[in-house]
Amino acid sequence: MRIAIDLDGVIFDTERYFRVASEIEDVNNFGLNNKINNNELKFQERYKWSSKFCDDFYSKNVFKIEKTAGFIPGAIKVLKMLKELGNELYIISARGIFSEKQIDISNELLKNNDIDIFKKKIYKAENKRKYVISNKIDVIIDDNLQICKDLKNICKTIYFKDAPNYENTDKDIKTVYNWGEIYRYFKEKNTK
């Protein structure tokens, strides 16, 4: 099976670090009543921030967080197990759109943690659909519910939800809360 995995919030624990940093930034700059919706995945949509403020916040934090956030618990272990089960692993991530340096950081972290086991690493994927189609992906794993909704008609979709993000009510999209549940999902598929 060809499995495509998102990086931020699925393999790397960056989204939670961004949540911490954005909360502190918001409170310190705008007080306690500036949040719009805590379920939003993107900080740009969680607060009443100007686009300039968002850009400054992002560029101030992005490299530090991407370098130090580390891996989501179980990601390394289960990715290796999925590969051993005979699956082909792909990364499809928007990382790198802001800066090429993000790609170097990602490749280095994967290499240094002995998890550079992917058939292909697709960065700067603004539109994931075309890569899912061209690489004949069977399953995608993403923490962005909208991306799961957009792709559910062309492949199986697993919504990785380990934060306040939106609840999934769509029966065609599988929700998991940790990498152990991802392992269970693929073991069940293999035995059917």
Separation of alpha carbons 94 and 76, rounded Å: 20
Site map for Mg ion, 53-72, x if CB under 5 A? --------------------
Between 111 and 150, how does the x/- string for binding to Mg ion read (CB under 5 A)? Answer: --------------------------------x-------
Chain residues 7-26 in contact with Mg ion, contact rule CB under 5 A: 8-9
Closer by beta carbon to Mg ion, 8 or else 13 = 8
Residue type, 69: A
Note whether 58 and 25 are within 8 A (CB): no
Nearer to Mg ion, 160 or 186 (CB): 160
Assign 27 to helix, strand or coil.
helix
Q: Which of 172, 159, 127, 112 is nearest to 10 (CA)?
A: 159
Q: Which one among 3, 4, 5, 6 touches Mg ion, defined by CB under 5 A?
A: 6
Positions in the binding site for Mg ion (CB under 5 A): 6, 8-9, 143
